[in-house]
């Protein structure tokens, strides 16, 4: 069984601040995939990134960056120079490399960017 923990229930920052959302996972699989999704107030889940367990290279996409560390089973997400439009609930998720499981999601972090 897999488990994803997002310990930060809610984070509130002022616009232009940097913010990091934490994600810690547990799995017995050697091959797995990690994801981040954004859920804005409209409710639809929006894909942000997918990373496989063999690729620990960090990734940057514009103001977004991800830090994957297998040694600590963490896959943290940083938003640089946050904007009001970044306000949403962010979910970290995991799926094993084989089998017929679906995604295992964390409980989500509600990010509030104040103007």
Residues 15, 29: Cα–Cα separation, whole Å: 39
Q: Which residues pair with 49 in a beta bridge?
A: 36
By CB under 8 A, is residue 23 in contact with other proteins? Answer: no
Region binding other proteins by CB under 8 A among candidate stretches 11-19, 41-49, 63-71, 74-82 = 41-49
CB of 88 to other proteins, least distance (A): 13
Region binding other proteins by CB under 8 A among candidate stretches 14-22, 64-72, 77-85, 104-112 = 104-112
Burial class (CB in 10 A: 0-12, 13-18, 19+), 65: middle
Minimum CB distance to other proteins smaller for 53 or for 82: 53
Q: What is the 3-state secondary structure (H, E, C) of 3-34?
A: EEECCCCEEEEECCCCEEECCEEECCCCCEEE
Give contact residues for other proteins (rule: CB under 8 A).
Answer: 4, 33, 35, 37, 42-45, 47, 50, 91, 93, 95, 97, 99-108
């Amino acid at each position: 069984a897999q488990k994803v923990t997002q310990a930060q229930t809610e984070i509130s920052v002022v616009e232009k601040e940097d913010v990091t959302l934490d994600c810690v996972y547990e799995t017995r699989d050697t091959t797995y995939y990690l994801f981040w999704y954004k859920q804005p107030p409209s409710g639809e889940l929006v894909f942000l990134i997918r990373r496989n367990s063999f690729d620990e290279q960090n990734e940057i996409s514009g103001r977004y960056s991800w830090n994957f560390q297998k040694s600590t089973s963490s896959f943290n997400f940083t938003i640089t120079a946050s904007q009001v439009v970044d306000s949403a609930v962010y979910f970290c998720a995991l799926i094993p490399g084989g089998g017929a499981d679906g995604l295992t999601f964390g409980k989500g972090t509600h990010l509030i960017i104040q103007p």
